[in-house]
A and B are shown apart, each in its own frame.
Chain A
């Protein structure tokens, strides 16, 4: 089955700096790569996703890049703010098959220092 590795496990940045979180996946058939943000005691919430026919996607301060050849994808947050502090999870799945369940990375705890 799919295996998703995520690094780093913790990341501390100064407000206004950029943050980068990286993930690798093992199943070359995976074609959908979402990123979720989870605040303490809350449910995971989708912040951005990318499909395998696209190399990069941006949404305001957030961007995701995908390298299918290397089987890795990254989340980039620019101009970080204290409210960006949370745990971020990457995930992968193949949504063309009957099994669309996501396989998650182990998470990155991002702390933005004011």
Chain B
């Protein structure tokens, strides 16, 4: 049981480049989330998906897009990366059968130069 799996783990981008962070969960959870964590700070919600086929903006959605491809997968896309998007990105999921506890992936370290 892998839980929440994110790829890539590390990435360096040049300003203006695009990339997609992939996330998959194998816990049959309905809800999935993308958070970012800047050095020394808490986690801020970028986007979330309450169920397959739905997505909603969180606290800091500007510069990002998401796709809930199916129940398992929730991707985050940076269309034109900016240095301000240098951060650690965490995907997470939750479901009623796990008491709505939110489980996090291992994180993706993104540097935009």
Contacts and interface: CB of A to CB of B under 8 A. Distances in A.
A99 B54 CA distance: 11
A114 interface: no
A111 B113 CA distance: 33
Interface majority SS (helix, strand, loop, mixed), chain A: loop
A101 B106 contact: no
Contacts of B102: 34, 46, 100, 102
Interface residues of B, number: 25
Interface stretch (B16-24, B40-48, B70-78, B79-87): B40-48
Contacts of A32: 100
Contacts of B94: 100
Q: Chain A: interface residue count, which band?
A: 20 to 34
A99 B48 contact: yes
Nearest to A49: B101
A105 B50 contact: no
Contact of B43 (A44, A49, A99): A44
Interface in B20-62: 31, 33, 35, 40-45, 48, 50-51, 56, 58-59
Given A43-B106, A44-B104, A100 B42 contact: no
A106 B41 contact: yes
B50 A100 contact: yes
Contacts of B40: 107
A34 B56 CA distance: 22
Interface of B: 31, 33, 35, 40-45, 48, 50-51, 56, 58-59, 90, 94, 100-107
Interface of A: 1, 6, 32, 34, 42-46, 49, 89, 95, 98-107
